[in-house]
Amino acid sequence: MWALLLIPLISSATKNVTQKARTKIFNLATNCNTTLNRSHCSPAACCVQGPAGAQGSVGPRGGPQGIHGIQGAPGVPVTGPTGLTGPTGAPGPIGGTGAQGATGNTGLAGAGSMGRTGPTGQTGSGPQGPDGNAGNPGNPGPNGTVAFSMFYGLSTSDAYIDADNNPIPVAPNGPVPFPSKSTDSLGSIDYVPTFNTKFTLPNIGYYEVTFRIFSTNQGQVQLRLNDAAVVPGTVATFLHPCNKPSPESESDTIFGLIGSYIVQTTAPATISVINCGSIDLFLHKFATGSHPTPSCNTITIKQIT
């Protein structure tokens, strides 16, 4: 490494010595020329310039090559203008038919309103067709009344006391008695055993219940199914003019209570009529001269489905 550093120094020294020798020779030559032009020049002091010497050898090479300079920054690329569109080429041959694509999804329903109904077409003029075949017979319809029965109570004046089977008034919340049963009955609608005030509805279905009760005082009665009030099941009295006064009162008025209902059962049930008023209900007794067996109260029960 020191050798490399000395090379430039030696080269520089050699150049300085050579330059000094050349300068001296040049000055001497100059002095000689100048002396020759002078008349007082001494031959010893000046000499005539001799022929040029041979060219010296090439001096040693200079120092080592310098290091490469720093690479310059890359140039900024500039896109040139787009060239002109070339002419359209000639059409190519028609390609073969491609395979059919998959079916696309169903599009959304249109939002437009339905168009107006078109005009009615003309009536056809063809001949009437033959009658169709008779249809199959329909299912049998429901039967009429399935079962029925009527119950009643007798009440007369003293002349027919033997026909009076309603001798006492009906107390509040007490059942109205219907002691006699009509012989014209169908089915199994009957008394609840040991009671003449409550009746059985043995079958599931609909029943029509109708009752009428005459009394000598105002009152209210209520129809009850399984000891629960039928809604609306309360009947109030209404006034009915009478031709003759009753024995208990000189009034010409008889109070009547009449009700008619349709009730439904989902299991075997019972039915009764209750005095729902706050006072005793006195059943009307027909006056002397009446029919020996008049009825002051009746109830009819019919199963309709």
* Of residues 154 and 148, more confidently modeled: 148
Identify each DSSP E strand in 166-252 by its residue range.
180-181, 198-201, 205-215, 220-225, 228-236, 238-241
Look at the block and give the residue holding tokens 């989902």. Answer: 266
What is the predicted pLDDT for the residue at 200?
96
Contact 281, 217 (CB under 8 A): yes
What is the predicted pLDDT for the residue at 61?
76
What is the predicted pLDDT for the residue at 13?
47
* Of residues 210 and 83, more confidently modeled: 210
* Average pLDDT value for residue range 266-284: 91
Burial label, 205 (beta-carbon count in 10 A; 0-12, 13-18, 19+): middle
C-alpha distances in angstroms, 38 versus 28, 42, 47? 15, 9, 13
* Of residues 9 and 59, more confidently modeled: 59
Give the Cβ contact number of residue 249 at 10 Å: 13
Peptide bond before 232: cis, by omega within 30 degrees of 0?
yes
* Average pLDDT value for residue range 211-237: 85
Backbone dihedral region for residue 163 (phi beyond 0: left; psi -120 to 50: alpha; all else: beta): alpha
Q: What confidence category does residue 286 fall into, taking pLDDT thresholds of 50, 70 and 90?
A: low
* Average pLDDT value for residue range 85-89: 89
Q: Kindly report, residue by residue over 90-147, the tens digit of the pLDDT.
A: 998 998 888 888 888 888 877 778 888 888 888 878 888 888 888 888 887 665 668 9
What is the predicted pLDDT for the residue at 284?
74
What is the predicted pLDDT for the residue at 143?
59
For the chain, the straight-line distance linking the first and the last C-alpha, in angstroms and rounded, comes to 135
* Average pLDDT value for residue range 155-160: 52
Domain ranges of the chain: 1-37, 147-303
Of 130, 286, 149, 267, the residue nearest 205 (C-alpha): 267
Q: Kindly report, residue by residue over 290-301, the tens digit of the pLDDT.
A: 455 566 789 999
Strand 220-225 to 269-275 pairing: antiparallel
Statement: residue 43 has pLDDT above 80:
no
What is the predicted pLDDT for the residue at 294?
61
User: Model's pTM, two decimal places?
Assistant: 0.49
Contact 45, 35 (CB under 8 A): yes
Q: 118-150 burial, b if ≥16 CB within 10 A, otherwise e?
A: eeeeeeeeeeeeeeeeeeeeeeeeeeeebbbbb
- Torsions phi, psi of 253, nearest 5? -115, 135
The DSSP letter of residue 196 is S
Please tell me the class of the 147-303 domain: mainly beta
Sheet holding 238-241, edge to edge: 180-181, 147-154, 295-303, 205-215, 253-265, 238-241
* Of residues 261 and 122, more confidently modeled: 261
What is the predicted pLDDT for the residue at 124?
77
What is the predicted pLDDT for the residue at 19?
57
* Average pLDDT value for residue range 228-249: 61
* Of residues 164 and 305, more confidently modeled: 305
